[in-house]
Amino acid sequence: MEKLIKNALKSAKADHIEIRINEGRGTGVAYVGKELESIGESSILGGSARALINGGWGFVAFNDIENLPRYVKMACEQAMLVGNKYVSLAKTGVINDVVKTRVDVDPADVSLIDKHDLCQKYNNIILSSKKVQTSSVRYVDSHSTLYFANLEGSFIVCENIFCGISVMAMAKDGMNVQQAYDSIGDMRGYKKVENFEESCEDVTKRAVDLLSAKPVEGGKYTVIVDPKLCGVFTHEAFGHLSEADFIYENKKLREVMKIGKRFGSDELSIADDGTLEGEAGYNKYDSEGTPTQKTYLIKDGILTNRLHSRETAAKMNESPTGNARAISYASEPIVRMTNTYMEPRNQTFEEMLAGVDEGIYAKGSLGGQTNTEMFTFSAEEAYRIKGGKLCEKIRDVVLTGNVFETLMNIDAIGNDLVIYGGLGGCGKGGQSPLRVSDGGPHIRIRNVTIGGR
């Protein structure tokens, strides 16, 4: 493979060329209700060539790697057709490396029958409740090897082993339908998915309990957010605003996201860290061969950095951060997050709770949407807080607001950081789901607008 790739690069004439080739295999098992919806194993082999000539990019994806020199030539021809300006790339140095993923148990060593039986067991746990109308259990693993080379002389081989599972319970009482969800997925191996019985029981109980929960009354509340919802907020509401391609193309956002501007208290720090080995968003190198790193987006309340590809770093006269990621060999790298989280501080959950006379404790996320700095997130479950104590469960809790105002209204940050992966992922530019992790500690936010469905 190395000889094939390097020979193809020798024959090319361009300002810059990258070649990525991916070979791998994977497994999928899915139950919906009592039915086994899908089960199977698959394999992939394909690659892409990306060329830069006179400011124009050419990109070709292919499955026939024997004709690699022809595809490199095609990428160069495309680039020549569109090139009419100067584009520079930030320097990253020449890298030659082989990266292996360390796992407890390689999912490739587990039979498809065992994977099916595990999913069936979890599905039966969820369906054991008479109030559960339907269920969903989905298992995925993948084992891939990515070869990367560029005209500058880098040659990198990265092994990636991912394994995860998601479970969902939907409970029904008349017209009242409620659901609960949980998912794990990272690069640590198969053992983690083997011990998910308690989570299946918890998902079932949460869905059933929501049937008797009262809808929330809309208004402004002090809200304590759990680590999972904190992570979703950090990723969706702020992380995407820190992606440099988005900032560079948006004049208004460039004015708002000025380095050195205060975005929160001295306690607030948000980081993106692709070097967290084992997490779903871990990569030693991004899809341009740039080493990943820990990048503080906010440090001690001050906007400090943004996430970059080599091109955006050069455009904005900043350093590359290793955040150019492609969802597959058939897609071009774009600026993406890796493992994004809010750093913990020293408050305990009990101390946070004691400081709330009347408010809401919101846990988990059923999804949401963002529009530049505005966000809307639906909590999976929630509890009313009265006199510093958790009270009855409530439902239909939807948090809305402006991300910058919300960051300034965080008045307590917990000491209990948790980072979550899962089978879901990040979507951007038609590339979804990209494996990422997000997280944070418990946080307390003043003056949050809450509306029911």
Instruction: Dump pLDDT digits (tens) for 284-313.
Output: 999 999 999 999 999 999 999 999 999 999
CA distance 81 to 54: 10
414-438, pLDDT tens digit by residue?
Answer: 999 999 999 989 999 999 999 999 9
| Concatenated DSSP letters of 106-146 | -GGGS-HHHHHHHHHHHHHHHHTSTTEEEEEEEEEEEEEEE
Q: What is the mean pLDDT of the chain?
A: 96
pLDDT of 424 = 84
pLDDT above 60: residue 3: yes
Q: Which residue has the tokens 């501080």?
A: 345
pLDDT digits (tens, 9 = 90+) for 48-78: 999 999 999 999 999 999 999 999 999 999 9
Distance spanning both ends of the chain, measured CA to CA: 55
In terms of Cα–Cα distance, which of 66, 46, 127 is closest to 331? Answer: 46
CB atoms within 10 A of CB 387: 10
Q: For the chain, give the number of residues.
A: 453
Region(s) of the chain under CATH 3.30.2290.10: 2-212
88 pLDDT above the threshold of 70:
yes
Alpha-carbon Rg for the chain, nearest whole angstrom, is: 23
| 83 vs 154 pLDDT, higher one | 154
Question: Are 376 and 400 contacting, i.e. CB atoms less than 8 angstroms apart?
Answer: yes
Identify the CATH number of the domain defined by range 2-212: 3.30.2290.10
pLDDT > 80? residue 154: yes
330 has a pLDDT exceeding 60: yes
In which band, very low, low, confident or very high, does the pLDDT at 146 lie, cut at 50, 70 and 90? very high
pLDDT digits (tens, 9 = 90+) for 212-226: 999 999 999 999 999
In the block, residue with structure tokens 């369906």? 127
20 phi-psi bin (left φ>0, alpha ψ -120 to 50, beta other):
beta
pLDDT at 93: 92
- Asked whether residue 83 carries a pLDDT value surpassing 90, the answer given is no
Enter the DSSP assignment of 321: -
Largest CA distance in the chain: 73
Q: Please, what sign has the CA dihedral across residues 352, 354, 359, 362? A: positive
Structure tokens at 277: 């080995």
Q: Which tokens in the block code for residue 407?
A: 């960051």
Is 368's pLDDT higher than 90? no
Statement: residue 355 has pLDDT above 90: yes
Instruction: List, for residues 387-409, the tens digit of each pLDDT value.
Output: 999 999 999 999 999 999 999 99
pLDDT at 273 over 70: yes
pLDDT at 86: 84
Instruction: Please identify which residue in the block is written with the tokens 């148990």.
Output: 105
Give CA separation, 440 vs 231, 306, 402, 451, in Å: 5, 19, 19, 24
Residue 11's pLDDT band (cuts 50, 70, 90): confident
CA distances from 328 to 217, 332, 407 (A): 44, 8, 34
What is the token pair recorded at 431?
């590339």
Q: What's the whole-number mean pLDDT along residues 315-327?
A: 97
Q: Considering Cα of 99, then 143, then 278, then 443, what sign does the dihedral take?
A: positive
* Distance between CA atoms of residues 107 and 428, nearest Å: 28
Residue 349 pLDDT > 90 = yes
Check if the beta carbon of residue 442 is closer than 8 Å to that of residue 227: yes
Measuring CA to CA, which residue among 9, 10, 84, 4 is closest to residue 49? Answer: 9
- Looking at residue 226, its pLDDT comes to 98
Find out whether 103 and 41 touch, Cβ atoms under 8 Å.
no
Question: Does the pLDDT of residue 112 top 60, yes or no?
Answer: yes
Q: For tokens 């989280």, what's the residue? A: 341
Is 70 exceeded by the pLDDT of residue 453? no
Q: Give DSSP secondary structure letters for 243-294.
A: BHHHHHT-HHHHHHS-TT-B-S-TT--EEEETT-TTSTT--SB-TTSPBP-E
Q: What distance in Å separates the CA atoms of residue 358 and residue 236, rounded to the nearest whole number?
A: 27
Helix axes 2-10, 68-82, angle to 10 degrees: 40
452 pLDDT band, cuts 50/70/90, is low
pLDDT classification of 84: cutoffs 50, 70, 90? confident
